[in-house]
Chain A
Amino acid sequence: MSLEWPILSVVIWLPVLGGLLLLISGERAARPIALITSVATFILTLPLYSHFDSSTAKMQFVEKMPWIDHFNVHYYLGIDGISMPLILLTSFTTVLVVLAGWESIKSRVSQYMASFLIMEGIMIGVFSALDAVLFYVFWEAMLIPMFLIIGVWGGPRRVYATIKFFLYTFLGSVFMLVALIYMYMHSQGIQTQGTFSILDFHALSLGRVEQIYIFFAFLLAFAVKVPMWPVHTWLPDAHVEAPTGGSVILAAIMLKIGGYGFLRFSLPITPDASNELSWLIILMSLVAVVYIGFVALIQSDMKKLIAYSSIAHMGFVTLGFFIAYDIFDKTGGWEKAVLGVEGGLVQMISHGFISGALFLCVGVLYDRMHSRNINDYGGVANTMPVFAALMVFFAMSNAGLPGTSGFVGEFMVIIGSFQANFWYAFLAATTLILGAAYTLWMVKRTIYGEVANDNVAALKDLNGREFVILSTLAVAVLVLGLWPAPLVDVMHASVANLLQHVSVSKL
């Protein structure tokens, strides 16, 4: 299905324009303009779901026009069942982030809000770009507002964190650029012009060695973004220094771009290399679940703890994607790999809600006490009962409680990985224990107990704005947990098509 108007362009450029408008508007108008723009963008993304045709794997809402003729580069947009939910997640989260920064940001409000709006447009661009150059431009451009958000509104060690963040992600993406150019050259015939279309890349025939080089180039870019162990150490630092809104966007959406990249690039472009090296990704994923689970346990900084928890949860995403090859080998078909891939996708959406909510919870506390240190808290439930109830709810979702969205993806991936190998499922399922341990131990030390000190005694419960933000997320987490079908149904055709493509060797 399609629409009369170029919906993808609108939802990419509307927030960018809104952001630019903010830069010239005064401080006083900044908040309402930001809110109106983000809400409007969110509403405008809704037709992507309501008009989405889930019976086909074809790209939908396609827009294509020439951009740089000489290199056959196009302004080429379109989405399928893999990218569409991520775009909705982006527009939804941005509204909450604008609201979350309403009071806690006091300096340079318009620039702060502008950064988030511009970033929203860019991130939607990343998810909808079907031209590799366009994708790369969005991909790199995304770093700039995030860099500013951490660098300008961040905590005391923000310089270290931004540089680390920038170097890590930049290092990763440089090799991706090389790979993209290589594929353009490769697609060039004697008579014909080369292509940068991602869909054409999918069909590009590549030798084994080429595939392995390209695979690693992509791996570096995406693994840093996810982030996968061992290239994850930028994330805790970035989170700790970022303002609440920055953490939310980082956790809820930016990390997903890495996972998305694996599905859009690595698997379909280099299926044979992915097959050969799937053990490596699975290993890195399982290390993320187990090793990072233990690391999260002993963190004393709440944001660091949630950051590590994010890494562990994202391990399920990559695990769900790459077990596909073991299942191909075992069953001889792609049909049994669906659960893992869809589970990974659901996990991405769910983690967007839950990690976003947890960072917002920490933000609520930080705004009041200016501390993220668990030891400074204790007995918050006595003074902030409503907040405590929501925090416990999100903690339980983070621990994968059935009935919340946190359960759905993990459940699917664990069941899916059992089909590949008992030990994958075994190690992945340790999250049941580890995830509960690090999350609920934090809850015990911050929320429960006697009022720990005078600062906690002076805490005021959620105000209306904070309550709306957190309860909206709670509803999202609950609805997705009780009825994931509406989300999973839109993925079927695209995932089946992807797996079918991936299961065929290019050699």
Chain B
Amino acid sequence: MNMENIYLAIPLAPLFGAIVAGLFGWKIGRAASHWVTILGVAVAFALSMLVFKHIVIDGAETYNKTVYVWMISQGIQFEIGFLIDKLTTVMLVVVTFVSLMVHIYTIGYMKEDPGYQRFFSYIALFTFSMLMLVMSNNFLQLFFGWEAVGLVSYLLIGFWFKRETAIYANLKAFLVNRVGDFGFLLGIAAIVYFTGSLDYMTVFGQADTIASQNIEIFAGVPWSAMTVVCILLFIGAMGKSAQVPLHVWLPDSMEGPTPISALIHAATMVTAGIFMVARMSPLFELSATALSVVITIGAITALFMGLLGLVQHDIKRVVAYSTLSQLGYMTVALGASAYSAAIFHLMTHAFFKALLFLGAGSVIIAMHHVQDMREMGGLKKYMPITYWTSLIGSLALIGFPGFSGFFSKDAIIEAVAHSDIAGSGFAYAAVLGGVFITALYSFRMFFLVFHGQERMDEHTREHLHETPAVVTVPLILLAIPSAIVGWYTIGPMLFGDYFGASIFVLPEHNALAAVGESWHGPAGMVTHGVMQPPFVLAMLGVFTAWFLYMKRPDIAESIKNKSGLLYTMLVEKYGFDRFNEIVFAGGARGLGNLFWRNGDVRLIDGLIVNGSAKTVGWISGIIRNVQSGYLYHYAFAMILGLLGLLSWVIYSS
């Protein structure tokens, strides 16, 4: 089969499934709906593996061609086209694999939901959009995919549209993402302005031209064009990849069903920003200022969002804050010019975080949709598969040596240590501190859910049992790469030439190369790793979690009570939500009222429109008095008029 058709079939297969399940799901029924979408995604996965073989193993040339021309205006080609290189290939495999797992899992999770077909249609549509995003060879299609995944995310967060919290969360998610897209779109406009093209390769080819120019956004203040472009693009990434301060939508997105939390809000969509920046490495490399912004925002997110995970009681929210923190790690890697480490962590994180979410979902099924960890405990004996797979996921998350997360996280920490970019010092402290926090909240959750006292009510306990195979099989299949994928891929991806020309790094920024000099294979990294501070910090975190939540819960309670202000600050999520609610949401409504009542109603309509109508009425009232109907009035007026006219003729001549 022709590779071109394969590339086309990868996104179209899930799209076909989505259309069939979406439009005809009511007719073909539940089973047919899940079969058609699963089949679509399975085809996409199988073909992605084929592409992987073709591009990575056989070493085929990068594919870069137009699929169709969307339009041409002003000589600019707006088109839909594919760029299939090694970066795309990783994303294809990760996206289709996780999506396939989630599709299968959904059969179990959504079993009793009346919106079953709709759900499958949405997640297949999501898969299509995400694939279009990562396969794009131009900014137009990137933006298409970007907004399309946002749309599906909106629909899925609000999937249970009767819940007030869900429809609040999806509106919030969409709007916050739109703030990011606002910057992103301006970034694209800037690119068109400087290069006259939307095509990646053409734009990258002109990167030096952009970098050599200035733009005066404020008159008299020339800014480097590249810095402006990159920061605008990065604002888009901040929205989608939930970086502070545009992170506020992600925790609330947990209102959506758990499978999509795993797929969209952990493994794939939220990493679109990371992918985008990596894809744009030829641009970001040319602006050290932009890289500093990136690393600083990432570091803030990595550290401070992790802290919030410590005070959550909802099992999904803990994982959500963990996702925020891990996205921060990836962003830090981007800022340190370790793009390949960011993508590497993106990949390992996709596996273990999807696993953790689906594990949490498995617990939620068993608990009859209770999500509060205070009502759990001791689930280990009821749910062995969920227990062991979640343990693997947690170990990968905290970076336990040998597990996939260990390799990717350590690589990031090492790269930051070697980076010279402004802000890397702070970032190093943040990612290192983050290791302890990650271990602490992860194992706090792990212990609270699976160990210790069984705190659920009697009825729930009686019904506790392991979830069915459609749920546990995806868990097992995700646990395997979570455990081992790092070992096999770190060499080529980070220190080999895996990405080749897909990622561009200036020699003076290349922190990973410095790390690579002292890298002697995965085994060496593991033996070396157990003596390093990150490992010690992680173990300390696990121990602290055990001590505080298993051994001496009274101490945890008294810490909570004593650290009043700090605790309140964490529970209030640093006040971001309240601030946005009052300043932005309230402010916009206030401004709308102000404009409408004073501008439209009072000034334009009240004074000018109705005012002039009244004036006309008033004048015509006077004129009406003049038209009295009495002949002598008219005669008098005529005389006056004649007099006036005559005197004007006489005096003017």
Residues of A within 8 A of B (CB): 164, 167-168, 230, 233, 291, 294-299, 335-336, 338-339, 342-343, 379, 381-382, 392, 396, 401-403, 407-408, 411-412, 414-419, 422-423, 425-426, 429-430, 432-434, 436-437, 440-441, 444, 447-450, 482-485, 488-489, 492
A444 touches B171 (CB 8 A): yes
Known: A294-B595, A295-B596, A414-B185. A167 touches B70 (CB 8 A): no
A418 touches B179 (CB 8 A): no
A449 touches B600 (CB 8 A): no
User: What is the 8 Å Cβ interface bit string for chain B, positions 583-615, against chain A (1 contact, 0 not)?
Assistant: 000001101110110011000110011000100
Provide the residues of chain B in CB contact with A418, threshold 8 Å. 186, 189-190, 192-193
A444 touches B186 (CB 8 A): no
Provide the residues of chain A in CB contact with B75, threshold 8 Å. 335, 338
The distance in angstroms between the C-alpha atoms of A296 and B174, with both chains bound, is 18
Interface of chain B residues 56 through 91 with chain A (CB within 8 A):
68-76
Provide the residues of chain A in CB contact with B599, threshold 8 Å. 230, 291, 295
Question: Which of B159-167, B303-311, B322-330 makes up part of the contact surface?
Answer: B159-167
The one of A429, A434, A489 that contacts B186, using a Cβ cutoff of 8 Å: A429
The distance in angstroms between the C-alpha atoms of A233 and B282, with both chains bound, is 50
B74 touches A449 (CB 8 A): no
Provide the residues of chain A in CB contact with B143, threshold 8 Å. 402
B162 touches A437 (CB 8 A): no
Give 7 closest A-B pairs by Cβ, nearest first: A418-B189, A298-B592, A294-B592, A338-B74, A297-B592, A485-B71, A448-B167
Provide the residues of chain B in CB contact with A425, threshold 8 Å. 186, 189
Provide the residues of chain A in CB contact with B417, threshold 8 Å. none
A339 touches B593 (CB 8 A): no
Provide the residues of chain B in CB contact with A382, threshold 8 Å. 162
17 contacts between A and B (CB under 8 A): A294-B592, A295-B600, A335-B74, A338-B74, A402-B144, A414-B186, A414-B189, A416-B74, A418-B192, A422-B217, A433-B182, A448-B162, A450-B162, A482-B70, A484-B71, A485-B69, A489-B72
B592 touches A230 (CB 8 A): no
Query: Looking across the interface, which residue of chain B has its beta carbon closest to that of A168?
Result: B609
**Is B410 positioned at the interface, with any CB of A under 8 Å from its CB?**
no
Provide the residues of chain B in CB contact with A299, threshold 8 Å. 596
The one of A417, A422, A432 that contacts B182, using a Cβ cutoff of 8 Å: A432
The distance in angstroms between the C-alpha atoms of A27 and B148, with both chains bound, is 47
Interface of chain B residues 137 through 170 with chain A (CB within 8 A):
143-144, 146-148, 151, 154-155, 158, 161-162, 164, 167-168
A432 touches B181 (CB 8 A): yes
The distance in angstroms between the C-alpha atoms of A162 and B600, with both chains bound, is 18
B595 touches A449 (CB 8 A): no
The distance in angstroms between the C-alpha atoms of A415 and B71, with both chains bound, is 14
Query: Looking across the interface, which residue of chain B has its beta carbon closest to that of A416?
Result: B74
Interchain nearest-CB distance for B17 vs A (Å): 18
A396 touches B74 (CB 8 A): no
The distance in angstroms between the C-alpha atoms of A444 and B169, with both chains bound, is 11
Interchain nearest-CB distance for A240 vs B (Å): 13
The distance in angstroms between the C-alpha atoms of A440 and B154, with both chains bound, is 10
B593 touches A298 (CB 8 A): yes
B151 touches A164 (CB 8 A): no
Provide the residues of chain A in CB contact with B174, threshold 8 Å. 436, 440
B591 touches A294 (CB 8 A): yes
A485 touches B70 (CB 8 A): yes
B595 touches A295 (CB 8 A): yes
Provide the residues of chain B in CB contact with A343, threshold 8 Å. 73
A437 touches B73 (CB 8 A): no
The distance in angstroms between the C-alpha atoms of A54 and B566, with both chains bound, is 68
Query: Looking across the interface, which residue of chain B has its beta carbon closest to that of A422?
Result: B217
A449 touches B186 (CB 8 A): no
Of B75, B146, B193, the most chain A CB neighbours within 10 A belong to B193
Provide the residues of chain A in CB contact with B188, threshold 8 Å. 415
The distance in angstroms between the C-alpha atoms of A408 and B144, with both chains bound, is 11
Provide the residues of chain B in CB contact with A448, threshold 8 Å. 158, 161-162, 167
B609 touches A164 (CB 8 A): yes
**Is B178 positioned at the interface, with any CB of A under 8 Å from its CB?**
yes
Provide the residues of chain A in CB contact with B192, threshold 8 Å. 415, 418-419
Interchain nearest-CB distance for A457 vs B (Å): 13
Known: A294-B588, A488-B73. A419 touches B193 (CB 8 A): yes
Known: A436-B178, A448-B167, A449-B164. A401 touches B71 (CB 8 A): no
Of B74, B75, B591, the most chain A CB neighbours within 10 A belong to B74
Query: Looking across the interface, which residue of chain A has its beta carbon closest to that of B177?
Result: A436
The distance in angstroms between the C-alpha atoms of A414 and B604, with both chains bound, is 29
The one of B179, B589, B605 that contacts A297, using a Cβ cutoff of 8 Å: B589
Provide the residues of chain B in CB contact with A295, threshold 8 Å. 592, 595-596, 599-600
Interface of chain B residues 517 through 576 with chain A (CB within 8 A):
none
Provide the residues of chain B in CB contact with A415, threshold 8 Å. 188-189, 192-193
Of A296, A297, A432, the most chain B CB neighbours within 10 A belong to A432
The distance in angstroms between the C-alpha atoms of A430 and B584, with both chains bound, is 13
Query: Looking across the interface, which residue of chain B has its beta carbon closest to that of A484?
Result: B71
A396 touches B182 (CB 8 A): no
Interchain nearest-CB distance for B70 vs A (Å): 6
Known: A402-B144, A433-B178, A448-B161. A488 touches B215 (CB 8 A): no
Query: Looking across the interface, which residue of chain A has its beta carbon closest to that of B593?
Result: A298
The distance in angstroms between the C-alpha atoms of A337 and B216, with both chains bound, is 20
**Is B175 positioned at the interface, with any CB of A under 8 Å from its CB?**
yes
The distance in angstroms between the C-alpha atoms of A489 and B72, with both chains bound, is 8
Known: A414-B185, A418-B190, A436-B174. A230 touches B595 (CB 8 A): no
Interchain nearest-CB distance for B219 vs A (Å): 10
Provide the residues of chain A in CB contact with B179, threshold 8 Å. 433
Interchain nearest-CB distance for B480 vs A (Å): 36
Query: Looking across the interface, which residue of chain B has its beta carbon closest to that of A336?
Result: B74
A422 touches B215 (CB 8 A): yes
The distance in angstroms between the C-alpha atoms of A417 and B151, with both chains bound, is 26
Known: A297-B589, A402-B143, A449-B167. A429 touches B182 (CB 8 A): yes
Interchain nearest-CB distance for B99 vs A (Å): 20
B186 touches A233 (CB 8 A): no
Known: A295-B599, A436-B174. A233 touches B74 (CB 8 A): no
Known: A297-B588, A382-B162, A414-B185. A401 touches B151 (CB 8 A): yes
Query: Looking across the interface, which residue of chain B has its beta carbon closest to that of A297?
Result: B592
Known: A425-B189, A450-B162. A233 touches B591 (CB 8 A): no
Provide the residues of chain B in CB contact with A426, threshold 8 Å. 186
B144 touches A403 (CB 8 A): yes
B70 touches A483 (CB 8 A): yes
Interchain nearest-CB distance for B210 vs A (Å): 14
The one of B73, B155, B168, B600 that contacts A233, using a Cβ cutoff of 8 Å: B600
The distance in angstroms between the C-alpha atoms of A436 and B546, with both chains bound, is 46
Query: Looking across the interface, which residue of chain B has its beta carbon closest to that of A388?
Result: B161
Provide the residues of chain B in CB contact with A430, threshold 8 Å. 182
Provide the residues of chain A in CB contact with B147, threshold 8 Å. 401-403, 407
The one of A233, A407, A441 that contacts B171, using a Cβ cutoff of 8 Å: A441
Interchain nearest-CB distance for A297 vs B (Å): 4
Known: A164-B609, A294-B592. A402 touches B185 (CB 8 A): no
B171 touches A339 (CB 8 A): no
B162 touches A449 (CB 8 A): yes
Interchain nearest-CB distance for A218 vs B (Å): 21
Apart from A423-B217, A449-B167, list 4 A-B contacts with CB within 8 A. A295-B600, A297-B589, A338-B74, A415-B188
The one of B69, B161, B185 that contacts A432, using a Cβ cutoff of 8 Å: B185
Provide the residues of chain A in CB contact with B608, threshold 8 Å. 230
Query: Looking across the interface, which residue of chain B has its beta carbon closest to that of A382?
Result: B162
Query: Looking across the interface, which residue of chain B has its beta carbon closest to that of A436?
Result: B178
Of A335, A343, A415, A444, the most chain B CB neighbours within 10 A belong to A415
Interchain nearest-CB distance for A348 vs B (Å): 15
The distance in angstroms between the C-alpha atoms of A440 and B604, with both chains bound, is 28
Interchain nearest-CB distance for B600 vs A (Å): 6
Provide the residues of chain B in CB contact with A444, threshold 8 Å. 167-168, 171
Provide the residues of chain B in CB contact with A484, threshold 8 Å. 70-71
A432 touches B73 (CB 8 A): no
The distance in angstroms between the C-alpha atoms of A412 and B74, with both chains bound, is 10
